[in-house]
């Protein structure tokens, strides 16, 4: 494999063919914010927070998945890039409860996002809490739709396909097939999705309820009852 020469923020750099702009930039110690990207998964290129400006390109390019080309000239922090990132984080903050996503909040602060600009009368993500199994809760009000859980559940790790994407546009969301409760899905409770979730939308059940003031004894009782109900011997 041959190497590729490109310029990042005016700095000439040589990287192996097939590298992404993000990898090339990290070699130069340049920080590019990422949200949906996970090093072990296929980049879905959808949060767009990592966008950079490639010279002569019509639109910005996602650094996490764009492969470097010879002679490419990249700006990782131009005014256009900053405007896009600020706007994206603003939109995200205006739609999703980011209280459990400190990393994204930090980005939002760094880029000066002002989500309040969109006003109060706007549509936000709203879902009931799914507490339908003993292991983890699904609080999709906090979901940023990064797809990591779906990838972890499916082709990038577990090959179980218990959760999928459903709905379109603003109403796109993660769901089990036909919205069945998790115990009725193909879920094997491997926990890969919980590990991968960057926003706190998926959380171990115990952690969630402890955070919400339930004590351990009470929690154990509730889940035992549920388990018994599920196995059909609630005598």
Partner 1 sequence: MELKLITANLGKINPSSIDDYLAHGGYRALQRVCDATETVSFTHDLKAAGLVGRGGAAFSTGLKREMAIRAEPTHPYPAPEWIPERYRYSSSFVVCNADESEPGTFKDRLLLEGDPFCIIEAMTITAFLACATVGFIYLRGEYPLAYERLTHALRVARERGYLGKRILRDDFAFDIEIRRGAGAYICGEETALFESIEGKRGEPRAKPPFPTDKGLFQRPTIINNVETFANIPFITLEGAQAYRRYGTKQSPGTRIVCVSGAAQKPGAYEIEMGTPLRYVIEELAGGLKPERTLQAILIGGAAGVFLKPDEIDVPLAFESLDAIGATFGSGAIVVLDDTAKMWGVLLRLARFFRNESCGKCLPCQIGTQRQLEILERMTQGRSRKLEQTDISPEELRLLRDTGAVMRDASLCGLGQTASNAILSAFDKKLIL
Binding site for ligand SF4 (CB under 6 A): 143-149, 174, 196-197, 199, 201-202
Best CA proximity match to 199, nearest among 111, 95, 119, 116 = 95
Residue choice 7, 23, 45, 105 for contact with ligand FES (CB under 6 A): 45
Q: How far apart are CA 11 and CA 77, in angstroms?
A: 13
Q: Rounded to the nearest whole angstrom, what is the least distance from the CB of residue 61 to partner 1 in the complex?
A: 9
Q: How far apart are CA 36 and CA 226, in angstroms?
A: 34
Q: Rounded to the nearest whole angstrom, what is the least distance from the CB of residue 116 to ligand SF4 in the complex?
A: 23
Q: Are 1 and 16 in contact (CB under 8 A)?
A: yes
Nearer to ligand FES, 39 or 169 (CB): 39
Q: Rounded to the nearest whole angstrom, what is the least distance from the CB of residue 175 to ligand SF4 in the complex?
A: 10
CA 25 → CA 7, 8, 75, distances in Å?
A: 10, 7, 10
Residue 157, contacted partner among ligand SF4, ligand FES, partner 1, none, CB below 5-8 A by kind: none
Nearer to partner 1, 74 or 137 (CB): 74
Residue choice 50, 81, 163, 197 for contact with ligand FES (CB under 6 A): 50
Nearer to partner 1, 83 or 228 (CB): 83
Residue choice 7, 23, 65, 75 for contact with partner 1 (CB under 8 A): 65
Q: Are 72 and 61 in contact (CB under 8 A)?
A: no
Q: How far apart are CA 55 and CA 143, in angstroms?
A: 34
Best CA proximity match to 170, nearest among 149, 193, 147, 145 = 145
As a residue count, the chain comes to 235
Q: Rounded to the nearest whole angstrom, what is the least distance from the CB of residue 35 to ligand SF4 in the complex?
A: 9
Residues engaged in binding ligand FES (CB under 6 A): 34-37, 45-50, 62, 64
């Amino acid at each position: 494999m041959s190497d590729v020469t490109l310029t990042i923020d005016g700095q000439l750099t040589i990287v192996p063919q097939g590298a992404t702009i993000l990898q090339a930039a990290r070699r130069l110690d340049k920080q590019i914010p990422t949200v949906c990207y996970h090093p072990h998964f296929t980049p879905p290129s959808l949060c767009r927070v990592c966008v950079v400006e490639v010279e002569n390109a019509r639109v910005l390019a996602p650094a996490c998945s764009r492969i470097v080309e010879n002679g490419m000239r990249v700006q990782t922090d131009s005014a256009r890039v900053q405007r896009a990132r600020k706007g994206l984080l603003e939109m995200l903050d205006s739609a999703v409860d980011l209280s459990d996503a400190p990393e994204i909040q930090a980005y939002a602060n760094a880029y000066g996002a002002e989500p309040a600009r969109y006003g109060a009368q706007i549509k936000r993500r709203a879902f009931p809490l799914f507490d339908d199994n003993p292991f983890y809760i699904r609080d999709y009000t906090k979901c940023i739709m990064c797809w990591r859980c779906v990838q972890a559940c499916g082709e990038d790790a577990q090959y179980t396909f218990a959760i999928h994407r459903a709905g379109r546009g603003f109403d796109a969301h993660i769901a089990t097939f036909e919205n069945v409760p998790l115990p009725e899905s193909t879920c094997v409770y491997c926990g890969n999705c919980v590990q991968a979730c960057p926003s706190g939308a998926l959380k171990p059940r115990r952690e969630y309820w402890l955070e919400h003031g339930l004590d351990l004894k009470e929690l154990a009782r509730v889940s035992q009852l549920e388990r018994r109900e599920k196995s059909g011997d609630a005598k």
